[in-house]
Amino acid sequence: MKIAVVGCGAVGSYYGARLSMAGHDVHFLLRSDYDIVKANGVQLVTADGEFTARPKCARDPKEIGLVDLVVIGLKTTANGRFAELVSPLVGASTAVLTLQNGLGNEAQLAKLIGKEKVLGGLCFVCLNRIAPGRIQHIAHGTIVMGEFSGPAQPRTHAIAAAIQESGVPCKVTDNLEQAHWEKLVWNVPFNGLGVAGVAGYDSVISGKVGPRKKLTTCLTTDILLADPRWAKLVRELMEETIRAAQALGLAVKDSAAQKQIDRTLEMGAYLASTLIDFERGQELELDALFFEPLRQAKTVGVSTPRLQAMCQVLEQINPHGPKSS
Catalytic residues: 183
CA pair distance 285, 9, nearest whole angstrom: 14
Question: What are the Cα distances from residue 252, in Å, to 52, 135, 195, 223?
Answer: 38, 32, 26, 26
Q: In sequence order, which residues have a C-beta less than 8 Å from that of residue 193 and are 6 or more positions away?
A: 204, 219, 224, 230, 233, 234, 237, 310
Residue 237 DSSP one-character state? H
CA pair distance 135, 201, nearest whole angstrom: 32
Task: Tell me if 135 sits within 8 A of 42, measured CB to CB.
Answer: yes
Q: Would you say how long the chain is, in residues?
A: 325
Closest CA to 318 of 198, 224, 231: 198
Strands 25-29 and 118-131, how do they pair? unpaired
SS3 assignment, position 307: helix
Task: Tell me if 18 sits within 8 A of 51, measured CB to CB.
Answer: no
Task: Tell me if 157 sits within 8 A of 164, measured CB to CB.
Answer: no
CA pair distance 81, 78, nearest whole angstrom: 6
